[in-house]
Structure 1
Amino acid sequence: MTSAIHHADVVLDVIGSRRSAAVSPVAASWCRSALHHHLDPARATRRELIDAGALALLREANAALLRAAAPVLDQTYLSVGRSGCGVVLSDAQGVILDRRVGAGDGDDFAATGLVEGARWSEADEGTNGIGTCLFEGRPVVIHRDQHFAAHNVDISCMDAPVYDPHGRLAGALDVSSCRHDHGPAIAEMIGALVREAARSIERDYFCRHFEGARIIFLPDDAANGTALLATDRDDLVIGASRAARLRLGLSDAALANPRPMDQLLGRSVASSFGDADRTVLRQALARSGGNVSEAARLLGVGRATLYRRLARAGVKPS
Structure 2
Amino acid sequence: MARINHAEHVISTVESGSVGTRLTASWRRSLKKHGLDPERPVTPRRFSEAEISERRERLGGFMNLASPKLDQLFQMVGNTGCSVMMTDRDGVVLDQRSKDADSDTFQSWGLWTGADWSEESEGTNGIGTCIAEARQITIHRDEHFLSRNTVMSCMDAPIFGPDGELIAALDVSSCRADQTEAYARLISNVVAQTAKQIETDAFRAAFPKARIITAPEDRPDGAVLLAVDHDDLIIGATRAARRAFGLGQGAHIVPTPASDILGRDSTVSALERAERAALKRAIARAGGNVSAAARELGIGRATLYRRMKRLGIGENGEN
Q: Name the TM-score, length of structure 2 as normaliser.
A: 0.81
Q: Which has the larger radius of gyration?
A: 1
> In the alignment, which of 78, 81, 86 is matched to residue 75 of structure 2?
78
Query: Counterparts of 1:1-318 in structure 2 under 5 Å?
Result: 3-19=2-18, 22-252=19-249, 256-267=253-264, 274=271, 276=273
List per-residue Cα deviations over 1:148-185 (Å, max 9, x = no partner). 00111111000011000110001110000011011111
CA distance in 1, matches of 2:222, 2:95: 23
C-alpha distance 255-266 of structure 1, shift in aligned 2 (>3 A): farther
CA distance in 1, matches of 2:230, 2:267: 18
Conservation of the 8 A alpha-carbon contact between 2:268 and 2:274: no
CA distance in 2, matches of 1:253, 1:189: 33
CA distance in 2, matches of 1:179, 1:268: 53
CA distance in 1, matches of 2:90, 2:248: 23
Amino acid at match of 1:237: I
SS in 2 for 1:70: helix
How far residue 234 of structure 1 moved from its aligned partner, in angstroms, is 2.1
CA distance in 1, matches of 2:162, 2:16: 41
Amino acid at match of 1:249: G
Question: How many pairs are equivalent?
Answer: 276
Conservation of the 8 A alpha-carbon contact between 2:83 and 2:172: yes
Amino acid at match of 1:66: M
SS in 1 for 2:156: strand
C-alpha distance 106-220 of structure 1, shift in aligned 2 (>3 A): farther
How far residue 110 of structure 1 moved from its aligned partner, in angstroms, is 0.3
Instruction: Give the unaligned 5+ runs of structure 1.
Output: 280-318
Q: Name the TM-score, length of structure 1 as normaliser.
A: 0.81
List per-residue Cα deviations over 1:22-57 (Å, max 9, x = no partner). 342212211111011111101112432111111100
C-alpha distance 275-11 of structure 1, shift in aligned 2 (>3 A): same
SS in 2 for 1:159: strand
SS in 2 for 1:49: coil
C-alpha distance 150-238 of structure 1, shift in aligned 2 (>3 A): same
C-alpha distance 274-18 of structure 1, shift in aligned 2 (>3 A): same
Conservation of the 8 A alpha-carbon contact between 1:213 and 1:230: yes
C-alpha distance 256-133 of structure 1, shift in aligned 2 (>3 A): closer
SS in 2 for 1:181: coil
Conservation of the 8 A alpha-carbon contact between 1:84 and 1:179: yes
CA distance in 2, matches of 1:51, 1:204: 29
List per-residue Cα deviations over 1:68-89 (Å, max 9, x = no partner). 2111100000000010111100
CA RMSD across the alignment: 2.3
Amino acid at match of 1:34: L
User: For structure 1, which segment, 270-279 or 74-83, has the greater mean C-alpha deviation from structure 2 after superposition?
Assistant: 270-279
How far residue 277 of structure 1 moved from its aligned partner, in angstroms, is 7.0
Partner of 1:293: none
SS in 2 for 1:63: coil
User: For structure 1, which segment, 184-193 or 231-240, has the greater mean C-alpha deviation from structure 2 after superposition?
Assistant: 231-240
SS in 2 for 1:158: strand
How far residue 278 of structure 1 moved from its aligned partner, in angstroms, is 11
C-alpha distance 257-11 of structure 1, shift in aligned 2 (>3 A): closer
C-alpha distance 269-254 of structure 1, shift in aligned 2 (>3 A): farther
Conservation of the 8 A alpha-carbon contact between 2:232 and 2:266: no
CA distance in 2, matches of 1:18, 1:208: 46
What is the identity percentage for the equivalent residue pairs of Structure 1 and Structure 2?
43
Amino acid at match of 1:10: H
SS in 2 for 1:25: coil
